[in-house]
A and B are shown apart, each in its own frame.
Chain A
Amino acid sequence: MNAPAYNFAYLDEQTKRMIRRAILKAIAIPGYQVPFASREMPMPYGWGTGGVQVTAAILGPQDVLKVIDQGSDDTTNAISIRKFFAKTAGVATTTATDEATVIQTRHRIPETALNENQVLVYQVPIPEPLRFLEPRETETRRMHALAEYGLMHVKLYEDIARFGHIATAYAYPVKVNARYVMDPSPTPKFDNPKMDNCPALQLFGAGREKRIYAIPPYTQVVSLDFEDHPFEPYRFNAPCALCGAENSYLDEIVTDDKGGRMFVCSDTDYCEGRQAAGHHGSLSAAPYREKAQEASNG
């Protein structure tokens, strides 16, 4: 009854070999989208089928897995993927960034700096940065092959012409290793600088689109911009309401129907870690609030 019904990490070994080959090729050509025979996974497209396949292919029994969704460890998507691998691979899971060896992510890069022993796996909905500018896939592939990226700047030009600044706030195009232009999946552009020269291996899996691409450790990643409109990471100008962090990416949370809102770190692990270390913000829960009042009284 308790005999494992699945192969280790759900996918069969041949499939994992195929995905690993695609990953190796992707690492060899940083930023290049490698086609692979994406499998049907027991979850709908858009829920991270690409990321899950990459994770399944690289996961070993000794790995410690962390899964985040918009920076959070406790949303439905993150919990179900974490449970999926706990069940099918029996690996240890964690929510702490520095304990994890494999981190699967949707739309964020953890605030805690990554190290050489970690692999960051991104879930990618649309791998092609030129998709909405040039509808023909044959043409975009040729443009990548010939490094014709003028069109990418057309998008940024349009932003400035319309809004006066580069209004693209997520999926901000980057150039990897001075060659391929890549869509960093819908991470906020706040996270773009973290990709540059990152010690961890970064893998990107797009399940529906059947593409894998990668940024090897310590690779140059440059966000595209204009000389007179340089790239600027964006962040709400407020400290986190729970941990007081001034340099983390914030989520805006509506708290009532009278315009009340609060800004909190989108990376829950980072925020909790800071709170446990005694940092607090304006809306911290009771024990911290008492401390905050003591601090202000004393």
Chain B
Amino acid sequence: MADQNWVENDEPLLVARSLSKSFGRINACRDVSFSLYPGEVLAIVGESGSGKSTLLQMLSGQLAPSAGHVSYRMRDGVTRDLATLGEAERRFLFRTDWGFVHQDPAQGLRMAVSAGANVGERLMAVGWNHYGRIRETASDWLTRVEIDVARIDDAPRTYSGGMRQRLQIARNLVTEPRLVFMDEPTGGLDVSVQARLLDLLRSLVAELNLAVVIVTHDLAVARLLSHRVMVMKGGRVIETGLTDQVLDDPREPYTQLLVSSILPP
């Protein structure tokens, strides 16, 4: 059994092969390749316009690449090219085995329905049909993301920014996905709330053995959460490696600039 786990973890979960995307004459993303293994957290860092978000959209199947392939190892162990999946399959994958945490929680949540229903929606989408059990699972997840269960029937528009972001995370994790995409999950939050959120994310990632692709311009987030870092500039990956290696000993001039632009504590 241990052996089999080892074999499973030895195969990549998500593989990107020479991904490129151009919008007319603009090459938003050029020749990006990498493999992501189960339980691994990969941070994509770079300044605005460096192609991070385009890359994330291609990886999550929301945008078709101009060239290259993304393949994903499904729960049945078969690795499949995302481009060959039907729309129904892709959407099913998106709401069961994947999660997507948006920078703006309003994009990832239904702001007008209660927190409980927000968390329960994915369960109902995969056929849960027992109100009591849905609610129980939703309360359980609210507790795990440190939201007071008494607020389960309040709509997220009555929540603070940090709570909304935590609710969005609960909503994504309720179906126990294996891979979560995050687009600047701490953007727009104040520092103490950011710290709590990062702490929470770190423990959840470890607990659930999640693989995460996190896009951020905040190197502190990359340092705290990720195992590996990819630095992007002008649509290309210019440096990649273990997080502490890249951040402590940057090789490329641009990475050196990024690292040195953080104010010393």
A interface residue numbers (CB < 8 A to B): 133, 142, 146, 148, 150-151, 153-154, 157-158, 160-162, 226-229
Contacts and interface: CB of A to CB of B under 8 A. Distances in A.
B129 A150 contact: no
B134 A157 contact: yes
Contact of A146 (B87, B114, B131, B153): B87
Given A228-B132, A229-B131, A158 B88 contact: no
Given A154-B113, A157-B117, A158-B113, A148 B125 contact: yes
6 contacts: A151-B124, A154-B124, A158-B114, A162-B153, A226-B130, A229-B131
A249 to B, nearest CB: 27
A133 B130 CA distance: 20
A153 B129 contact: yes
Contacts of B121: 150-151, 154
Nearest to B134: A157
Interface in B182-208: none
Most buried by B among A146, A161, A226, A227: A161
A133 B117 CA distance: 12
A226 B91 contact: no
Interface residues of B, number: 24
Interface string B130-167: 11101100000000000000001100000000000000
Given A160-B131, A227-B129, A228-B132, A153 B124 contact: yes
Given A142-B87, A148-B91, A154-B120, 7 more contacts: A133-B110, A153-B124, A154-B110, A154-B121, A157-B124, A158-B117, A229-B131
Contacts of A157: 116-117, 120, 124, 131, 134
Contacts of B131: 157, 160, 226-229
Interface majority SS (helix, strand, loop, mixed), chain B: helix
B124 A150 contact: yes
Given A146-B91, A154-B124, A157-B124, A227 B117 contact: no
A227 B91 contact: no
Nearest to A156: B131
A187 B122 CA distance: 29
Contact of A227 (B122, B123, B130, B152): B130
Contacts of A158: 113-114, 117
A151 B130 CA distance: 15
B112 to A, nearest CB: 9
Given A226-B130, A228-B130, A150 B122 contact: yes
A262 B135 CA distance: 40
B83 interface: no
Interface in B88-135: 88, 91, 95, 110, 113-114, 116-117, 120-126, 129-132, 134-135
